[in-house]
Amino acid sequence: MENAKLILDGKTFELPILIGTEGEKAIDILKLRAESSYITFDPGFGNTGACKSAITFIDGEKGILRYRGIPIEQLAEKSTFVETSYFLINGKLPTKTELKQYSLSFTRSAKLHKDMKKMFAGYPSSAHPMAVLSAMVCSLSGFHPELTKLNPSADDIQGMAAQLLSKVRTISAYSYRKSVGKPFLEPRDDLAYIPNFLHMLFSTPRKEYKIHEDVVKALQTLFILHADHEQNCSTSAVRLVGSSKANLFASVSAGVCALWGPLHGGANEEVVEMLEEIYRSGGKVEKFIEKAKDHTGNYRLMGFGHRVYKNYDPRAKIIKERAHALLKKMGIHDPLLDIAVRLEEIVLKDEYFVTRKLYPNVDFYSGLIYKAIGIPTNMFPVLFAIGRLPGWIAHWKEMREDKDSRLGRPRQIYTGDKIRDYVPIEQRK
């Protein structure tokens, strides 16, 4: 394909075109600044490609999501979270032996250092579990300095990944138990990833939590659906921090913080709070829809809209089905699910939402599944973080292995004062 041509101040610049394997096109402006002194302006990076990546493909117009070529629907139906994480991080589906070894590395890494366990005591029980999680993830650098070399080997990266994937589950369970004043339980060697998480969350020293197969299946699906989403806010945070050669634990900790925000992974918590508010107001969904359409305030319908999807989020479609199936199986009638369905029905016909292509996103129905399992609202973003971890690790690894990757450092258009003199304090008015 021919180069793109850009005319600036009467001079023509030739800009190479890049084409991805799915036909995605980009104009390469890498040399534009040096040759012209112009930068490009794109707040929120809505139309900026920050890297080349072979991990995830999204077609937001068609509602397509694939991990390394495999449609998300197939993985959600047939894979497990552990297998999907191996696949995302290593780029190939594992053999039986590889999967066994991989799972074993999780079992070996599940326990927290006794000094790390003491750190939980320093937090008030009201501390948000995402605050605890981000700090603990970064602290892993202090407990595993042997893995955090400037130029980690492939084995070091595998070691960090196993520590993170396994320990994040233990840390998450402990941050929940701390918030409800319950003692910590050790992970069990005989349990698989999700049952072990449920055990650490809900068992008591005297009574083992009864593992419900449908609950495991629902969490399995949710974690797989959250596992990666290319250059979203938190993954970009992980890449940006990691681009300075910060270690994986520190980089992922930044990802947890980015995910916490209500416009990103914190939305699942906000959705259930919104549905509860609608319920308390007598189920008047129309009032909330009108409020979200009124631009004089900044109220939004949480769980609707997406930067990339301009069609139904394929993850939301699967989660909606799973929410209905799980609640039915568990014999739960949650009025919030009825409200959610009614809200969606009205929104999908409303001109404001139709013209802006705002559909339910991954966070709209996920909270109702967590709620049915008995997970408290402030833990919802933590579950998103557990799910997103393989993606963060895969992107950090891909960036480290990419010889063309550079320090992340955007430019700006300065709009402040022109040069002026310092005024001594006595002369200031």
Close Cβ partners of 19 (under 8 Å, ≥ 6 residues apart): 1, 25, 26
Nearer to ligand CMC, 202 or 380 (CB): 380
Contact in structure between 398 and 53 (CB atoms under 8 Å):
yes
State the residue number with the nearest CB to ligand CMC: 305
Q: How far is the CB of 271 from ligand CMC (least distance, A)?
A: 7
Query: Which range, of 10-18, 80-88, 160-168, 357-365, touches ligand CMC by CB under 6 A?
Result: 357-365
Q: Are 35 and 13 in contact (CB under 8 A)?
A: yes
Eight-class DSSP state of 423: -
**Residue in 362, 368, 375, 399 binding ligand CMC, rule: CB under 6 A:** 362
β-pairing, 70-71 vs 17-19, is unpaired
In 110-238, DSSP assigns E strands to none
Report the 10 Å Cβ neighbour count for 204: 10
Q: Which ranges of 91-153 would DSSP assign to H, the alpha helix?
A: 96-109, 114-119, 129-143
Q: Give yes or no for a contact between 75 and 67, defined as CB atoms under 8 angstroms apart.
A: yes
382, containing H or E segment:
helix 380-401
Is residue 305 at the binding interface for ligand CMC, with CB under 6 A as the rule? yes
Q: Does 301 bind ligand CMC (CB under 6 A)?
A: yes
What mask, x for binding ligand CMC by CB under 6 A, covers residues 337 to 356?
Answer: -------------------x
Rank residues 155 and 351 by Cβ distance to ligand CMC and give the closer one.
351
Q: Looking at beta carbons only, is 152 or 255 nearer to ligand CMC?
A: 255
Binding of residue 363 to ligand CMC (CB under 6 A): yes
Name residues contacting ligand CMC, limited to 31-60 (CB under 6 A): 44
Candidates 32-40, 61-69, 276-284, 361-369; binding stretch for ligand CMC (CB under 6 A) = 361-369
The answer to whether 324 is a known catalytic residue is no
The residue (of 202 and 288) whose beta carbon lies closer to ligand CMC is 288
- Asked if 302 interacts with ligand CMC (CB under 6 A), we say yes
**Catalytic status, residue 306:** yes
Distance from C-alpha of 141 to C-alpha of 152, rounded to nearest angstrom: 13
We find the least distance from the C-beta atom of residue 154 to ligand CMC, in angstroms, to be: 30
How many residues touch ligand CMC (CB under 6 A)?
21
Sequence-ordered list of residues with C-beta below 8 angstroms from that of 210, at least 6 positions apart, any chain: none
- Please pick, among 144, 199, 229, 306, the residue that the annotation labels catalytic: 306
User: Minimum distance between the CB of residue 102 and ligand CMC, rounded to whole angstroms?
Assistant: 26
Number of neighbouring beta carbons within 10 Å of residue 282: 7
d(CA 254, CA 241): 7
Residues 213-232 that bind ligand CMC (CB under 6 A): 229, 232
Minimal distance in Å, beta carbon 285 to ligand CMC? Answer: 13
Q: Is 292 in the site for ligand CMC (CB under 6 A)?
A: yes
Tell me the closest approach of the beta carbon of residue 200 to ligand CMC, in angstroms. Answer: 26
Residue 38 is classified by DSSP as -
Q: What is d(CA 108, CA 126) in angstroms, rounded to the nearest whole number?
A: 31
* Cα–Cα distance measured from residue 381 to residue 256, given in angstroms and rounded to the nearest whole number: 9
Please give the Cα distance from 41 to 194 (Å, whole number): 44
State yes or no: residue 236 binds ligand CMC (CB under 6 A). no
Applying CB under 6 A, which residues contact ligand CMC?
A: 44, 229, 232, 263-265, 267, 292, 300-307, 356, 358, 361-363
Give me the active site residues, please.
306, 363
